[in-house]
Every structure is written in structure tokens, then in C-alpha cells.
């Protein structure tokens, strides 16, 4: 049963940003996260059976966490309450809980509380939820972009199922973009748009798996693009760069440039050239490369090329990967730079690499023992 807070007039919906207008309202419209909401998956089955327990959705922005929670709202007979931890006080939480108790006593109807940005709640505010989550007075849907195992009380985690959302693939983003360009009711389908291949690839790459970021840039670009003599909006690379506020960088994460850049990065560290290492690292980050991928390459170089000449390089590189995953971008760039500079400046020894290669060769080609 859909609650009144989700009902809206056509005029109100038209005034919303494109990302809000294109938000999915059913599983058929939901794109991505097949690992958790695909056919037959536990979460989807629980939602469709209206038997959802407390859950934590975490992952990068624009990956469908809030959208999925609102799909729950459309499918459940349970009363759906929505709040944001940034603007919700402990007193507000207690009021929600008291109302939920009264509702259950009067009608037997339970309450689902969707709490967005739950990581902004401090420990005492989270504790205010704990007992009533445990008793089933409310079913909690906590939404966060931060790792819940660091930011959410262990007691709440233990009473919830945690689902991790992944950044959307470029294939998923392309589908979302094409849907928005075709949709005449909620999207940009009333405009005639001619988008160049370079502009499309620029938007998809620099969205970094974030559908909201992509749709915001797409809307700005279409509305601001110039119209030619035939009434067609020309969405070229210049429009794409202005919409994303990001200059195009020659880099394709699935093509040759990807391997050329990471090869240049590794060769710079191997060749004790920290300036070049930081340059190639920065270029990859600007182009939208996953910082974890870069961190993994630093780890490999720390072992393969630095090795026993400075065993601490490997420890530092592993710490950098952990820190990157914990902190995230944009601050992760500083951590990566520190690790890359350290490995580049460290003395080099490939003794470990050569030793294991020779041992493997002996095992494969030597006499049986």
C-alpha cells in the first residue's frame, strides 16, 4: 500500500529534477544490483512477500538504495515512514516509535522506518532505535554511503541484514540514460537530441557508477544545448564537459588506454620516478578509475619490484588499500599519492619474484620428487 507521502500531482513531479522523476517505482524499472534483487534473490523475495526484516543498504551514491526502499513502500501493507538522520533528532525518533506502538496496538499494522544517511546518527541516537527494532515495533531500513561496520552500532547490525550496493556498470548507466532520453512523460523525450559518441562516453565514464550524477548532467546538458536549424539539440563533447564540469581525458577503462596508463604508472614506480608515478595516478583518477584498482597495483609493485629491499613497502601499500576503502574519494587520492611516492622512492629488489618463478619452473619441469 503506497502511503500519502509518496503521492504527488503531475505538476509537482514535473518540477522535480530528472533523477527524481526517473526514479524506478517497480522491480521492472530498477536497474542494477542483480546480485541482491535479481529474480529469486532473498531480498527481492522478502519484499514481494511483504515479509521484510530490518536491513541496512550501503554503497556509493546513486546506486539505487533509496529507490529500492521506496519500492518497498509501494509493495508493503505496512505503514512506511521516511526520515533523514541529518535533520531528525532523538526526540523525533521517539515520537515515530511511540506512534508506531500506538498504530500496532490499535490496528495491528506495523511500521517500516526508512532512515536515510543513518551514519549521521551518533551512538546514543542509534541506541534509541535498538530496543524497538529488536521487539519488532519498527522495521528499520537504514541507508548509508559509509561502511556500516564502522559507523553503525554492532547491536543494530546484528539485528539487521546488510546489503552492499555496487557502483552501476556503464551498461546499466547507458540503459538509464537512453530511457531518460526516450521517456516523454518523466524524462527528456519531448526534446530532439543528437548526442555525439564522445559526449556519451564522457558522461558514462565520469558518472563513476552514479545514476543520479549522470541524470543531473544529462538534464543540464539537454536544457542548455544549442538547437540547430532543424530544431535538434546538439549534445557534443563541449556540452558534456560543461554539464559534468569535468574536462575530457583520453582514457578508456575497458580499452588500450587503460593498460597503457597503468603500465606507465607501474614503470614510473619501478624506475624510481615519483613525479611521473603521481602524474599517471592523477590522470587515471580524473578519468574515473577505481582507486582500489590503483591501490592493488601499488601492492603488487611493492612486492614484485621493492620486495626484500624494503619489506615495509608492502605493509604500507596494504594499509593504503584499507585506508582507501575506509575513507573513499576524494581524500583517498592523498593516500594513494603517499603510497605511490613511497614505493617509487624505495630501493628495489626483485629477488622474491625471481625466486618463486624459478621454483615454479622447477616444479613444472624438474624431476618428480
| Bridge partners (DSSP) listed for residue 55 | 141, 161
* Domain boundaries defined on the chain: 33-164, 170-244, 257-352
Helix (H) or strand (E) run with residue 282 in it: helix 274-286
Integer CA distances (angstroms), 307 to 102, 292, 304, 343, 350, in order: 65, 21, 6, 10, 6
Q: Give the strand pairing for 138-144 and 193-195.
A: unpaired
**Cβ neighbours of 138 (radius 10 Å):** 25
Q: Give the strand pairing for 111-116 and 138-144.
A: parallel
Work out the angle between the directed axes of helices 197-206 and 170-182 (0-180°, nearest 10): 120
The Cα–Cα gap between 121 and 98 comes to 19
What b/e readout covers 292-319, taking b as 16+ CB neighbours within 10 angstroms? eebbebbbebbbbbbbeebeebbebbbe
Helix (H) or strand (E) run with residue 263 in it: helix 256-270
Integer CA distances (angstroms), 201 to 48, 215, 253, in order: 36, 14, 11
- Select from 228, 218, 229 the least CA-distant residue to 189: 218
Residues 6 or more apart whose CB falls under 8 angstroms from that of 76 comprise 1, 47, 50, 52, 112
> What is the 8-class DSSP label of residue 28?
T
Architecture of domain 170-244: Orthogonal Bundle (1.10)
Architecture of domain 257-352: Up-down Bundle (1.20)
Cell of 26: 517497480
Model-level pTM? 0.65
Say if residue 272 is exposed, middle or buried (CB neighbours under 10 Å; 0-12, 13-18, 19+): middle
| Bridge partners (DSSP) listed for residue 74 | none
The Cα–Cα gap between 204 and 201 comes to 5
Q: Mind listing the pLDDT tens digit of every residue in the chain (369 residues)?
A: 344 444 455 556 667 899 999 999 888 899 999 888 888 888 899 888 888 889 999 988 899 999 999 998 888 888 888 889 888 888 888 898 999 999 888 888 888 999 999 988 888 888 888 888 888 888 999 999 888 888 888 888 988 999 999 889 889 999 999 999 999 989 999 999 999 999 998 898 888 889 999 999 999 999 999 988 888 999 999 899 888 876 555 555 545 566 778 889 999 999 999 999 999 999 888 877 889 989 999 999 999 999 999 999 999 999 999 999 888 888 999 999 999 999 999 999 999 989 998 998 888 887 656
For residue 131, report the phi and psi dihedrals to the nearest 5 degrees.
-60, -40
| Bridge partners (DSSP) listed for residue 143 | 57, 116
Under CATH, what is the fold of the domain 33-164? Rossmann fold (3.40.50)
Amino acid at each position: 500500500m503506497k502511503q500519502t507521502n509518496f503521492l504527488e500531482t503531475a505538476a509537482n513531479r514535473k518540477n522535480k529534477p530528472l533523477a527524481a522523476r526517473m526514479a524506478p517505482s517497480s522491480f521492472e524499472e530498477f536497474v542494477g544490483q542483480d546480485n541482491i534483487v535479481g529474480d529469486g534473490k532473498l531480498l527481492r523475495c522478502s519484499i514481494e512477500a511483504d515479509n521484510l526484516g530490518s536491513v541496512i543498504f550501503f554503497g556509493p551514491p546513486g546506486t539505487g538504495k533509496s529507490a529500492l526502499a521506496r519500492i518497498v513502500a509501494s509493495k508493503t501493507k505496512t505503514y512506511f515512514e521516511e526520515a533523514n538522520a541529518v535533520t531528525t533528532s532523538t526526540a523525533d525518533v521517539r515520537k515515530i516509535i511511540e506512534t508506531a506502538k500506538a498504530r500496532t496496538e490499535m490496528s495491528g499494522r506495523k511500521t517500516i522506518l526508512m532512515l536515510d544517511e543513518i551514519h549521521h546518527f551518533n551512538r546514543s541516537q542509534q541506541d534509541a532505535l535498538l530496543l524497538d527494532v529488536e521487539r519488532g515495533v519498527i522495521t528499520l531500513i537504514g541507508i548509508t554511503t559509509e561502511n556500516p561496520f564502522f559507523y553503525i552500532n554492532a547491536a543494530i547490525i546484528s539485528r539487521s541484514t546488510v546489503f552492499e550496493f555496487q557502483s552501476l556498470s556503464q551498461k546499466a548507466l547507458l540503459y538509464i540514460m537512453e530511457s531518460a532520453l526516450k521517456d516523454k512523460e518523466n524524462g527528456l523525450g519531448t526534446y530532439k537530441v543528437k548526442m555525439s559518441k564522445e559526449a556519451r562516453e564522457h558522461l558514462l565514464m565520469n558518472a563513476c557508477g552514479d545514476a543520479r550524477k549522470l541524470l543531473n548532467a544529462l538534464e543540464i546538458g539537454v536544457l542548455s544545448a544549442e538547437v540547430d536549424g532543424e530544431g535538434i539539440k546538439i549534445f557534443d563533447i563541449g556540452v558534456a564537459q560543461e554539464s559534468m564540469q569535468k574536462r575530457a581525458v583520453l582514457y578508456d577503462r575497458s580499452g588500450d588506454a587503460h593498460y597503457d596508463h597503468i603500465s606507465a604508472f607501474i614503470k614510473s614506480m619501478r624506475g624510481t620516478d615519483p613525479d611521473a608515478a603521481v602524474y599517471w595516478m592523477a590522470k587515471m583518477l580524473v578519468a574515473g578509475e577505481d582507486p582500489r584498482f590503483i591501490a592493488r597495483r601499488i601492492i603488487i609493485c611493492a612486492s614484485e619490484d621493492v620486495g626484500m629491499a624494503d619489506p615495509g613497502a608492502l605493509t604500507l601499500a596494504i594499509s593504503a588499500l584499507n585506508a582507501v576503502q575506509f575513507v573513499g574519494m576524494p581524500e583517498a587520492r592523498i593516500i594513494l599519492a603517499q603510497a605511490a611516492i613511497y614505493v617509487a622512492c624505495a630501493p628495489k629488489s626483485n629477488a622474491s619474484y625471481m625466486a618463486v618463478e624459478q621454483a615454479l619452473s622447477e616444479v613444472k619441469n624438474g624431476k618428480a620428487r
